[in-house]
């Protein structure tokens, strides 16, 4: 059995929102260990295509979901290539698209993946282990100003300049724990904060290395294009940068913030009907990561709406 074990965040809420029915087809764009895909396949006689750029996740989910036979297909791919994968599978439309954004628990829990600031391991942070750029390249070769910009933009770290200076001065780096300790010293104690001082900086480097926001910005329009009328979009985010992109995209595609004519009508037909509000996880959610999770959903309008 694969060691890539993962409890899906907001499992019940996802099933309720996507409401799978017999014969429908769904894309799980962040397959992970297959928990969300399994929930959908158990809820109805539907089909699920799972995408993930991590080969460990593909292996684990394929093993976990083998009992569903041809109703489940796993594809190793970044989710920004949603349209290309759909074309390869001869899917012209689907009934739902799900993405559980950010890093998965198994990736965080395995020190050899280099995501954790609490365990010793190589400084890696690549979701796709075959990708060219790693976190080690960033901390050992990028100029100080560029590191500062990355940590400020993607980590929203107020002391980004001090962190970047500390990283450059401490080169060469090889171990996540020593890097974490140096960043924590640069940030200093933060009264009232419950998060580790290196959290924002590690998050920023990870987001940059994996181009996570760029991937999301490319996924959203591809998902809307692929959804059939009445198709459901479900996006789970864990921090403000992701959530802001999703929120603004849905607002634009619903016509609320898109350009208007002199009479206040959208210049382009709205393509989405948003849910009234985002959903937060239940206090009883078994995954501790769910505490910061936010689920935003929308429904694809008819093309002639």
The confidence score (pLDDT) of residue 213 equals 97
- Give the span between the Cα atoms of 62 and 304, in whole angstroms: 39
Instruction: Name the band, by pLDDT with cuts 50, 70 and 90, for residue 1.
Output: very low
Least confidently predicted of 19-28, 185-194, 225-234, 258-267: 185-194
Clarify whether residues 42 and 87 are in a common domain.
yes
State how many domains the chain has: 2
pLDDT, mean of residues 262-284: 81
Clarify whether residues 120 and 206 are in a common domain.
yes
The first and second tokens of residue 74, run together, are 């796993």
- For residue 170, is it left (φ>0), alpha (ψ between -120 and 50) or beta? alpha
Clarify whether residues 97 and 139 are in a common domain.
no
**Contact 170/190 with Cβ under 8 angstroms?**
no
Clarify whether residues 217 and 97 are in a common domain.
yes
Instruction: For residue 26, give the nearest of 61, 57, 50, 43 by alpha carbon.
Output: 50
Instruction: Name the band, by pLDDT with cuts 50, 70 and 90, for residue 219.
Output: very high
Domain of residue 270, residue span: 11-106+212-300
Among the candidates 210, 233, 255, a domain finishes at 210
**CATH code where residue 36 lies:** 3.40.50.150
Instruction: For residue 243, give the nearest of 206, 296, 288 by alpha carbon.
Output: 296
Clarify whether residues 293 and 219 are in a common domain.
yes
Clarify whether residues 99 and 119 are in a common domain.
no
Clarify whether residues 257 and 218 are in a common domain.
yes
The confidence score (pLDDT) of residue 103 equals 79
Clarify whether residues 221 and 72 are in a common domain.
yes
Instruction: Name the band, by pLDDT with cuts 50, 70 and 90, for residue 248.
Output: very high
Among the candidates 185, 210, 235, a domain finishes at 210
The first and second tokens of residue 89, run together, are 């599978």
pTM for the predicted model, two decimal places: 0.91
The confidence score (pLDDT) of residue 279 equals 77
Q: Is residue 3 part of a domain?
A: no
Clarify whether residues 193 and 225 are in a common domain.
no
Residue 91 vs residue 302, higher pLDDT: 91
pLDDT, mean of residues 9-37: 96
The confidence score (pLDDT) of residue 28 equals 98
The confidence score (pLDDT) of residue 282 equals 63
The confidence score (pLDDT) of residue 54 equals 94
Clarify whether residues 216 and 87 are in a common domain.
yes
Q: Is the pLDDT of residue 2 over 60?
A: no
Instruction: Name the band, by pLDDT with cuts 50, 70 and 90, for residue 142.
Output: very high
Q: Is residue 6 part of a domain?
A: no
Instruction: Name the band, by pLDDT with cuts 50, 70 and 90, for residue 119.
Output: confident
Residue 226 is given by DSSP the state H
Instruction: Name the band, by pLDDT with cuts 50, 70 and 90, for residue 188.
Output: confident
Q: Is the pLDDT of residue 64 over 50?
A: yes
């Amino acid at each position: 059995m694969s060691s890539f074990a993962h409890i899906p965040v907001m499992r019940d809420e996802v099933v309720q929102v996507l409401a799978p029915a017999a014969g429908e087809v769904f894309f799980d764009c962040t397959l992970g260990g297959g928990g969300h895909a399994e929930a959908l396949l158990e809820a109805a006689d539907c089909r699920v295509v799972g995408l993930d750029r991590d080969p460990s996740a593909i292996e684990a989910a394929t093993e976990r979901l083998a009992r569903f036979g041809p109703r489940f297909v796993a594809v190793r791919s970044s989710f920004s290539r949603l349209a290309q994968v759909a074309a390869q599978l001869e899917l012209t439309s689907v009934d739902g698209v799900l993405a559980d954004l950010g890093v998965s628990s198994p990736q965080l829990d395995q020190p050899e993946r280099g995501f954790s600031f609490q365990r010793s391991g190589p400084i890696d942070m690549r979701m796709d282990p075959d990708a060219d750029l790693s976190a080690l390249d960033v901390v050992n070769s990028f100029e100080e100003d560029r590191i500062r910009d990355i940590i400020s933009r993607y980590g929203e770290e107020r002391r980004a300049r001090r962190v970047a200076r500390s990283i450059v001065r401490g080169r060469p780096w090889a171990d996540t724990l020593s890097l974490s300790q140096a960043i924590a010293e640069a940030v200093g104690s933060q009264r009232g904060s419950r998060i580790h001082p290196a959290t924002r900086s590690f998050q920023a480097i990870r987001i940059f290395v994996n181009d996570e926001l760029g991937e999301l910005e490319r996924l959203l329009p591809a998902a809307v294009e692929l959804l059939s009328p009445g198709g459901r979009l479900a996006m789970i985010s864990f921090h403000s940068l992701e959530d802001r992109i999703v929120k603004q995209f849905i607002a634009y595609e619903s016509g609320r913030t898109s350009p208007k004519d002199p009479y206040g009508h959208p210049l382009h037909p709205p393509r989405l009907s948003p849910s009234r509000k985002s959903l937060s996880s239940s206090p009883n959610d078994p995954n501790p990561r769910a505490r910061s999770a936010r689920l935003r959903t929308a429904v694809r309008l008819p093309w002639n709406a």
